[in-house]
Amino acid sequence: MDSLIFEGLSDDNKKIFLKSFKKKEIKKDEIIKNENDKLEKAFFLIEGEVEVKKEFSGANMQICNIKAEEDIFFSITCMLDNGKSLTTIVAKKKSVIMEISKKELINFCQINPTVGIKILENINKLLSKIIRKNDNKISKMYNTLEEVL
């Protein structure tokens, strides 16, 4: 895994951190999380492929597919703020995920403060990257709307 969350970590520190995750096998069509679920977990997809769905006007619309090789750490906001999930994630084929709860992340950071601070900095960078990307999308949508009106 080469996710931004591991940036600046030695291989040993990465291995130690990954021990905080629980590995789970997911069957094809199994739901990993539902939109509006409250959960305190984040996930890595390490094998397989998942579909991300969002409800629009009573129908579940596909937003995207995520393949394991994309190294995406998803549901970070749910893990951090205990908020409701904004999407549903379903396995498109047999998959393997690694999940970590907020409690496990905090426990790891308390036991390994130097590495924990680096991981929290990386999570901050990752969330900032997502916010900037979404800000750009909103700006483009606003400009398009202005042109149409």
Q: What angle do CA 145, 84, 24 make, to 5 degrees?
A: 115
Largest pairwise CA distance in the chain: 56
Task: Name the E strands within the chain.
Answer: 22-26, 31-33, 41-47, 49-56, 59-67, 73-74, 88-91, 95-101
Q: What angle do CA 98, 99, 105 make, to 5 degrees?
A: 125
pLDDT in tens, 43-97: 999 999 999 999 988 888 888 898 988 878 888 888 988 889 999 999 999 999 9
Domains and CATH numbers, the chain: 4-148 (2.60.120.10)
Residue of 117 and 74 predicted with greater confidence? 117
Q: What is the CA radius of gyration of the chain?
A: 17
d(CA 75, CA 5): 13
